[in-house]
Amino acid sequence: MLIKLVRQGLGSIIVFIDWLTRPKMIQRSAEQQARADAKAKSLKLYQLYACPFCVKTRRTIRRLNITIETLDVSEGSPYRTQLEQGGGKFQVPCLLIEKPGETTWMYESAEIIDYLNKEFSEDALRAG
Ligand SMILES: N[C@@H](CCC(=O)N[C@@H](CS)C(=O)NCC(=O)O)C(=O)O
């Protein structure tokens, strides 16, 4: 109970600091932004609002100026079950990457951030 309260308190502080220090969004040409928006549609982020690793991942998403659907996996949420069954374990953040004929459940914030930075770089977007 106490641990849960401390966790929630720390989580709220992290979210507040994140809000105060929001990263600047990169700007693209309209054409490149349309490519980025289309590409981001194949992604979903399973997450918890106040989880520090999720905050870190959402900061990258904001900086990259993309919209990725976020699915909250709080207790009782159907997305929690989806994550456990699809990805094989309960851990957030987890990025679901859906490509024709291929589904990937990517865990580990560092790996997700690295993937997003590469996929949404100007060069990758130009290459299509
Ligand atoms: N090394 C992982 C750590 C992620 C992590 O510890 N996430 C916590 C939430 S902040 C979690 O999902 N814990 C599993 C649980 O609570 O059962 C990362 O960087 O993504």
- Evaluate whether 66 touches 95 at the Cβ level (below 8 Å): no
| Predicted confidence (pLDDT) per residue in 78-112, tens digit | 999 999 999 999 999 999 999 999 999 999 999 99
Query: Rounded distance, CA 122 to CA 128, Å?
Result: 10
pLDDT of residue 70 exceeding 90, the answer is: yes
CA–centroid distance, residue 8 to ligand 1 (Å): 15
Which atom of ligand 1 approaches the CA of 112 most closely? 20
The residue contributing the CA closest to ligand 1 atom 2 is 108
pLDDT at residue 4, rounded to an integer? 86
Mean pLDDT of the chain: 96
Output the pLDDT for position 27. 97
The answer to pTM > 0.75 is yes
- How far separated are the first and last CA of the chain, in Å rounded? 49
Query: Residue 60 to residues 25, 42, 63, 112: CA-CA distances in angstroms?
Result: 9, 17, 5, 9
Domains defined for the chain, CATH in brackets: 2-127 (3.40.30.10)
**pLDDT(128) > 90:** no
Q: Which atom of ligand 1 is nearest to the CA of 91?
A: 12
Q: Where are the beta strands (DSSP E) in the chain?
A: 43-47, 69-72, 94-99, 102-107
Cα 89 to ligand 1 centroid, rounded to whole Å: 11
| Per-residue pLDDT tens over the stretch 3-25 | 989 988 999 999 999 999 999 99
Question: How close is the Cα of 54 to the center of ligand 1, in Å?
Answer: 9
d(CA 13, CA 32): 35
Ligand 1 centroid to 77 CA: how many Å? 17
Give the distance, in angstroms, between the CA of residue 114 and the centroid of all CA atoms in the same chain.
12
